[in-house]
Amino acid sequence: MSAAAPAGTGRQSRRAAIGSLVGTTLEWYDFFIYGTTAALVFGQVFFPAQEGVLGTLAAFATFAVGFVARPFGSILFGHFGDRIGRRNVLIATLLIMGGATVLIGLIPSYASIGVWAPVLLTLCRIAQGVALGGEWGGAALLSVENAPVRKRGLFGSSTQVGSPAGLLLASLVIAGASAVSGDAFAEWGWRIPFLASLVIVVVGLLIRRGLAESSDFTENAGKAPAALPIRQVLRDDWRSVLIGAGLGAANNAIYYTVATYTLAYVTGTLGVAKGETINHLTIVSVCYLVSIPFFGWLSDKVGLRRQVVVAALLAAAFVFPYFAMIETGESWIILLGMVIGLAVVQSAAYAPQPAIYAELFPARTRYTGASLAYALPTTVIGGTAPFVATWLHAETGSNTAMAWYVVGLSLLAAGCAALAHRRHAAASSAVAEKEIPVV
């Protein structure tokens, strides 16, 4: 293994960005194969007693459980990330996430072991959520804290690229598993993507072992770490936590509505073929993969917070047209709506978030603060979005109520982004930061 580049160099900045990208790609792959299979087969595999929409709701409930666990993961891993460093914690989150995913692929169906099947599924899902709660903050900080001062939006977006990259990888593997298993996908084919995670974990470990520690952490290593980072965050930076949580509300609702609820809705209600919707996700992922670094680059030009405000307002304006496009049942119109929703509207708000969150908290408690601010909206909004959308449609017979829900969250996000003024700068860039206007 080659020696790590010294902190603060261009080489270290690039390696940190690549490490964040690869690591979050692997983590999100594990998370997304769960979301996709929950929408497609988990209702009949683990909840056969619940018919139709009730089975889908039960599957989405276990999907939401993973999100409930994320704040606990952000506090747990944030504690150690602020005290012993980012790198080793990120290795631990990768092992936990990968191990839980492989175990899901080995759980017998409800028909084989009865109620123990959904119980084991839920426990593994909790482990996934705890690991992912600690993953994002560390990966984001590695990329932002080591980034050139005027390129934090671009380098920080490498963390966010892991989301579409993981989605693309998951959709490709699921499509391959579906092709191999054919009509037996619901019986055993769905297990292939989960078991394949073992190989991906090994690759991820090899990459993360070669990363150097965050420059901001090493520069503060001589100072006594906070005894209990979460206590200090809630005492001194609770406003930043709330602002960060509100800022991420809308993009979470949009993402999981498009990537998870839409998949279940167009197949279960509109009768669109499952294979066709998986292909849609693949195409959307490719567009999303390209748009995030573009919007990360753009945010460095126009201003991090300013871009999020504009994107949130666009989200409020686009949500009704999006559902109208989905309701047509036309494949290409559905695809177009998904591309605009994720690769344009959501991507523009999502790309600058690592840089914004990093600036809301001091380096001493930044892992805990940024992780918690990011985890709260993914738990309260993102994790429940497919369930809420499914329930609202079942109650009202349309997607109008869900659209108004997204509009409200978008306006909240715009307001919080406007309030998210820079409070802390990366220690390694403190001098250069004075030359940059606050936007």
pTM of this structure: 0.81
Amino acid at 426: A
CA gap 124, 38 in Å, rounded: 14
What confidence score (pLDDT) does residue 28 get? Answer: 78
Residue 308 token pair: 């999020």
Contact 392, 401 (CB under 8 A): yes
Residue 435 token pair: 């030359």
Amino acid at 228: L
Give the chain's residues under pLDDT 50. Answer: 1-7, 426-439
Residue 58 token pair: 């039960």
* Cβ count within 10 A of residue 183: 8
* Cβ count within 10 A of residue 281: 27
CA gap 392, 386 in Å, rounded: 10
Phi-psi sector, 304: left (phi>0), alpha (psi -120 to 50), beta? alpha
Q: Where are the domains of the chain?
A: 10-433
Q: What is the residue whose two structure tokens read 């869900």?
A: 402
Residues with Cβ within 8 Å of 315's Cβ and at least 6 positions away in sequence, in order, are 250, 251, 254, 345, 346, 349, 406, 410, 413
Look at residues 263, 193, 247, 196 and name the one whose alpha carbon lies nearest to residue 33: 193
Diameter over CA atoms, the chain: 65
Phi, psi of 49 (to 5 degrees): -70, -20
Torsion of CA 75, 142, 378, 281, to 10 degrees: -150
pLDDT tens string 117-170: 888 888 888 898 898 888 888 888 888 888 887 899 999 999 999 888 887 888
Q: What Rg do the C-alpha atoms of the chain give, in angstroms?
A: 21
CA gap 244, 224 in Å, rounded: 26
CATH entry, 10-433, from 1.20.1250.20, 3.30.465.10, 3.30.365.10, 1.10.10.10: 1.20.1250.20
pLDDT tens string 79-88: 998 888 888 8
